[in-house]
Chain A
Amino acid sequence: MRISDSLISSNFVNSYNSLKSRMESLRSEIASGVKVTKPSDSPDGAAKILRMNSNLSQSDSYKNNIQNSLSFIKETNSSMESMQSETVGLMEQLANLQNTTEDQNLGSYADKIDLALKSMMDSANADYDGKYLFGGTDYSSAPVGWSADGKSVEIKPNDVSGSNIVKVSSNIYQKINISGSELFATTLTNNGNLDSSSAVGSVVNNSSTIYDAKGNAYTLNQTYTKTAANTYKLNYDILDSSSVSVFSSAPAAKTVVFDPSSNVISSIDGKAPSAFRVQVPGNKIDFQININSLSEKNQASSVTSSLNQKNDIFNTLVNIRDNLRAGIRPTTGQEQIVSDFNKHVLDKLAVSGDTYNQLTNTDDLLTSQQLVTKTLLSNVQDVDTVQAMMDLQNQDNSLQMSYKVSSMILPKSLLDYL
């Protein structure tokens, strides 16, 4: 091959450019610590990095949710423990009151119960980060308060049954709150089934006893009327001891629709099934009806009902306090309500503790997943600095050699010797 001067110089320039280009690329990698700074560095790697960063960011968000939820649950548990502690004290006082030697101290007991009541109301109205712990999903007002006449306690007129559901991983939604309804409310639950083969127009009746804030008994009559296949109209009425309706006009009927494939209720009044509240302020009646357990089967209709408590803990304590001040000892039924509430709170503490543990486990799982993702991300994105430094050193050696050899050849020609 004939070697011209321009051939030597262009060869040198090409080699020099090639070495400098590789060195610049290595320098950039070492300086930034990443080997993919733009999509064309590794199109597949860039897409992976975007997806993995997105996953990591989502995981961070889930972990934030979990930490916030754990704090919320800690506060909830603290409030419930406080209520449970008060309830244990109340149970002791109620036991002491059975002792006739305490007759002269009934007023003092009334004061203690009043203090306990206020303390429990404070716990029921506790909040965290602007959210009432037992306020369901309505944070606009405290869950419990005194009625206008100051003689009974009302669970606030808004909805305290809402579930605070938090997404804690891509597929896990966790309910983190114990709603006011769950903890304090009186709930009448319908069980059993309606006959799917019954004719349109057929009627199923159910009757139960419910109580007002003062403990007076009322009769709740429910009527399920079939209006179409898998569809029923639920009417209800509340009668006092004189069999007179407490409603000035009949409450609106509820439309209940069953899913024929699963036999469970698919909607109530076109919405997802949930307990609905019945309030008659004039009679201090406040409870909720939960028909979600009701099913529709091809067998004779059988609807039963059960009441979780005769009265809520607050109004029970109000009644006990007022009775004590009137010289009347608490009834066994009232003692039972306090004892039941104690068990109820303990149950809810167990539920809440279980939720806490589940969230902690999910947090651990997310941490572990993040670790794996970060390792994969590092493999795709991060530079092996040692390798890069060695490569850079090699390139630099080649460049120095190129300079040395070129400096020997480039300026020389026969002209130098003539």
Chain B
Amino acid sequence: MSIGRIFDISRRSLATYQRALDVTSHNIANADNTNYSRQIVSFSAEKPNASNGTLLGFGVTMDDVQRAKNNLVENQIRANNTYYSTNDEKSQLLTQIEGLFGEPSDTGVSNLTTSFLNSWQELAVTPNSMSLRYNVIRSANQLSSKIQSISQGLDTLKTDILDETKAKVDLLNTTLTNIQSLNAQIFEQKNLGYTPNDLMDKRDAAINDLSKMANISVSYDASNTANISVGGVFAVDKSNVNTFSMKVIDGEMTLVSGSQELKAQLNGGTLSSMMDVYSNSIPEYQTKLDDYVNALVTSVNNLHTKGSTLDTPPQTGIKFFDDYKSGKLQVNSQIINNPNKIAISADGTSGNGTIAQSIADLSSANILNGTTLSNNYSNMISQLGTETLTAQQNADSGNLILQQLEQQKASYSGVSVDEEMTNVIKFQRSYDASAKLIKVADDMLQTLLNMV
């Protein structure tokens, strides 16, 4: 056994603890990087050497640097990312629809319809009053403006969603390309015998981003390559990446893949919510609003055409509203130009307001889906509120679960500076001791040399 062996053990020990300090400093540097998983150095004793019938140790060696990663938590985070993003995006979009309807308020369709029908009621009492006739036109115009504003708002929202979806699909494709590149790099590093922890962290972060956009399925093969499908359609592995695009067919937005345009079955993520609101929610509320307006317009016009105007001689057969088309509701221009054309007399006399009263009575008539306009509208608003609230509550609960999972992840994978500083001290002391050992060996060698 030679003194050189002490040098050898000490030198190896110095190198090992220096590398350990490298890893620790890397951990400290990434303490605030949320996508970073702390790295743990694993040491072991060097293979012993037999000498004179005795097995003597060869010091310490660094086996590996592993990521502190809990895959179970990671998978749950991805699943909850999808759930939370789906509901959060949906609640935000539905809140925008809520804003368009602006209920409950004085300027909502409900109050404006009531004001419109009430204006007929007041006109029925004094049918020859010009100011009350103007009041009917004014309240009709206010209602028309609001309905037009909602319809235009819904159209604008659809356009905005369309543009945003296109941008999101571009981001999806960029993320997939990024993952494919990371897959290739990780494969290469692995083949060289390295453990590419940081690359895997980057890939995990990209997969997390992907899980917010769509429902994905992730599996890892023997070479640790992430094989991902989006909505059941192959998306990426280490060699291939699919390009997705967004198509609108018959008013329905769809995510398709490649030149064959395979349809992805999206049921989660922000893209899913945007497509759902675009294809289903907005058309549904627009249809309900159209039904509401059509029922009002048809009923008012049916009654109005039976009435006589205040003209001499009285005229009949005049519609109050022009036909309702594409969200545009307008009062008949003849009436706007001459309020005497409001036809509310059932017998042609100037003081008969029977038709006006009948129009006012539409407020309590079951003219849409077997119930009143007011009930239909308030049911629709209630449905919109329930859908939004459900999405908000789902998003809140998803967020709560996500926070807990993130905390678990932070607890397991997050960097504790205290812990790392303790390691620094520990490794530094070991490094010091190793250096001291070299000094001891050196002294020993010097002693021997002095003897010569």
Please report A residues at the B interface, Cβ cutoff 8 Å. Answer: 1-7, 9-11, 14, 36, 38-44, 46-51, 53-54, 57-58, 60-62, 64-65, 68-69, 129-132, 135-140, 158-159, 162, 164-167, 170, 381, 413-415, 418
> Which residues does chain A contribute within 8 Å of B322, judged by CB atoms?
none
Number of interface residues of B (CB under 8 A): 68
Cα distance A143–B122 in the bound complex, in angstroms: 24
At the interface, yes or no: B31 with Cβ under 8 Å from chain A?
A: yes
| Contact for B104 among A9, A36, A65, A414, CB less than 8 A | A36
Q: Give the Cβ gap from A155 to chain B, nearest Cβ, in Å.
A: 15
| Contact for A54 among B94, B111, B418, CB less than 8 A | B111
Q: Which A residue's beta carbon lies closest to that of B120? A: A61
Query: Is A167 touching B361 in the complex (CB atoms < 8 A)?
Result: yes
Q: Which B residue's beta carbon lies closest to that of A53? A: B111
Please report B residues at the A interface, Cβ cutoff 8 Å. Answer: 31-32, 34, 38, 91, 94-95, 98-99, 101, 103-104, 108, 110-111, 114-115, 118, 121-122, 124-129, 345, 347, 349-352, 354, 357, 360-361, 363-364, 374-375, 377-379, 381-386, 388-389, 392, 403, 406-407, 410-419, 421-422, 425
Q: Give the Cβ gap from B374 to chain A, nearest Cβ, in Å.
A: 5
Query: Is A53 touching B104 in the complex (CB atoms < 8 A)?
Result: yes
Q: Give the Cβ gap from A162 to chain B, nearest Cβ, in Å.
A: 6
> Which residues does chain A contribute within 8 Å of B374, judged by CB atoms?
50-51, 54
- 9 extra A-B contacts, CB within 8 A, seeds A51-B375, A159-B347: A6-B31, A6-B410, A7-B410, A14-B403, A38-B103, A41-B389, A162-B351, A164-B125, A415-B421
Enumerate the 9 nearest inter-chain pairs by beta-carbon distance, A residue then B residue, closest first. A39-B385, A4-B414, A43-B385, A40-B388, A137-B351, A61-B118, A47-B382, A7-B410, A6-B414
Identify 13 residue pairs between A and B in the complex whose beta-carbon atoms are under 8 Å apart, listed by A's number. A4-B414, A4-B415, A38-B388, A39-B381, A50-B103, A53-B104, A54-B363, A129-B126, A139-B128, A159-B349, A167-B121, A170-B364, A414-B418
Query: Is A65 touching B403 in the complex (CB atoms < 8 A)?
Result: no
> Which residues does chain B contribute within 8 Å of A138, judged by CB atoms?
349-351
Q: A40-B388, A40-B389, A413-B421 are in contact. Are A11 and B407 (CB under 8 A)?
A: yes
Main secondary structure of the interface of B (DSSP, over half): helix
Cα distance A407–B415 in the bound complex, in angstroms: 20
Q: Which B residue's beta carbon lies closest to that of A42? A: B385
Cα distance A38–B350 in the bound complex, in angstroms: 44
Query: Is A43 touching B386 in the complex (CB atoms < 8 A)?
Result: yes
Q: Give the Cβ gap from B414 to chain A, nearest Cβ, in Å.
A: 3
| Contact for A130 among B115, B126, B347, B364, CB less than 8 A | B126
Query: Is B124 touching A54 in the complex (CB atoms < 8 A)?
Result: no
Cα distance A292–B250 in the bound complex, in angstroms: 62
Cα distance A138–B91 in the bound complex, in angstroms: 57
Cα distance A54–B376 in the bound complex, in angstroms: 13
> Which residues does chain B contribute within 8 Å of A166, judged by CB atoms?
124-125
| Contact for A5 among B95, B124, B413, B417, CB less than 8 A | B417
Q: Give the Cβ gap from A238 to chain B, nearest Cβ, in Å.
A: 26
> Which residues does chain B contribute within 8 Å of A415, judged by CB atoms?
417, 421
Q: Which B residue's beta carbon lies closest to that of A34? A: B104
Q: Which B residue's beta carbon lies closest to that of A61? A: B118
| Contact for A2 among B91, B98, B416, CB less than 8 A | B416
> Which residues does chain B contribute within 8 Å of A132, judged by CB atoms?
351
Query: Is A39 touching B98 in the complex (CB atoms < 8 A)?
Result: yes
Q: Which B residue's beta carbon lies closest to that of A380? A: B104
Q: Which A residue's beta carbon lies closest to that of B119? A: A61
Q: A39-B381, A43-B386, A167-B357 are in contact. Are A7 and B414 (CB under 8 A)?
A: yes
Query: Is A131 touching B414 in the complex (CB atoms < 8 A)?
Result: no
Cα distance A132–B418 in the bound complex, in angstroms: 95
Q: A4-B415, A50-B103, A50-B104 are in contact. Are A44 and B31 (CB under 8 A)?
A: no
> Which residues does chain A contribute within 8 Å of B419, judged by CB atoms?
4
Q: Which B residue's beta carbon lies closest to that of A173? A: B357
Q: Give the Cβ gap from A242 to chain B, nearest Cβ, in Å.
A: 38
Q: Give the Cβ gap from A5 to chain B, nearest Cβ, in Å.
A: 5
Query: Is B128 touching A38 in the complex (CB atoms < 8 A)?
Result: no
Q: A68-B125, A137-B352 are in contact. Are A51 and B118 (CB under 8 A)?
A: no
Q: Give the Cβ gap from B376 to chain A, nearest Cβ, in Å.
A: 11
Q: A1-B411, A130-B129 are in contact. Are A53 and B349 (CB under 8 A)?
A: no
Q: Which B residue's beta carbon lies closest to that of A171? A: B364
Cα distance A102–B294 in the bound complex, in angstroms: 76
> Which residues does chain B contribute within 8 Å of A129, judged by CB atoms?
126, 129
Q: Give the Cβ gap from A169 to chain B, nearest Cβ, in Å.
A: 11
Query: Is A162 touching B347 in the complex (CB atoms < 8 A)?
Result: yes
> Which residues does chain A contribute within 8 Å of B345, judged by CB atoms?
137
Q: A5-B414, A43-B382 are in contact. Are A414 and B421 (CB under 8 A)?
A: yes
Query: Is A140 touching B350 in the complex (CB atoms < 8 A)?
Result: yes
Cα distance A140–B312 in the bound complex, in angstroms: 10
| Contact for A136 among B95, B129, B351, B392, CB less than 8 A | B351
> Which residues does chain B contribute within 8 Å of A139, judged by CB atoms?
128, 349-351
Q: A5-B416, A6-B32, A10-B403 are in contact. Are A164 and B95 (CB under 8 A)?
A: no
Q: A131-B128, A138-B351, A167-B121 are in contact. Are A38 and B385 (CB under 8 A)?
A: yes
> Which residues does chain A contribute within 8 Å of B377, judged by CB atoms?
50
Q: Which B residue's beta carbon lies closest to that of A40? A: B388
Q: A40-B392, A50-B381, A68-B125 are in contact. Are A6 and B351 (CB under 8 A)?
A: no
Q: Which A residue's beta carbon lies closest to that of B391? A: A40
Q: Give the Cβ gap from A183 to chain B, nearest Cβ, in Å.
A: 16
Q: Give the Cβ gap from B364 to chain A, nearest Cβ, in Å.
A: 6
Cα distance A289–B350 in the bound complex, in angstroms: 24
Query: Is A165 touching B357 in the complex (CB atoms < 8 A)?
Result: yes
Q: Give the Cβ gap from A57 to chain B, nearest Cβ, in Å.
A: 4
> Which residues does chain A contribute within 8 Å of B381, judged by CB atoms?
39, 43, 46-47, 50
Q: Which A residue's beta carbon lies closest to that of B392? A: A40
Q: Which B residue's beta carbon lies closest to that of A4? A: B414
Max count, chain A CB within 10 A of own CB: residue among B124, B375, B414, B422: B414
Query: Is B104 touching A46 in the complex (CB atoms < 8 A)?
Result: yes
Query: Is A40 touching B94 in the complex (CB atoms < 8 A)?
Result: yes
Query: Is B103 touching A10 in the complex (CB atoms < 8 A)?
Result: no
Q: A5-B31, A58-B118, A138-B350 are in contact. Are A49 and B411 (CB under 8 A)?
A: no
Cα distance A172–B10 in the bound complex, in angstroms: 106
Q: Which B residue's beta carbon lies closest to that of A412? A: B418
Q: A38-B95, A413-B417 are in contact. Are A158 and B349 (CB under 8 A)?
A: yes
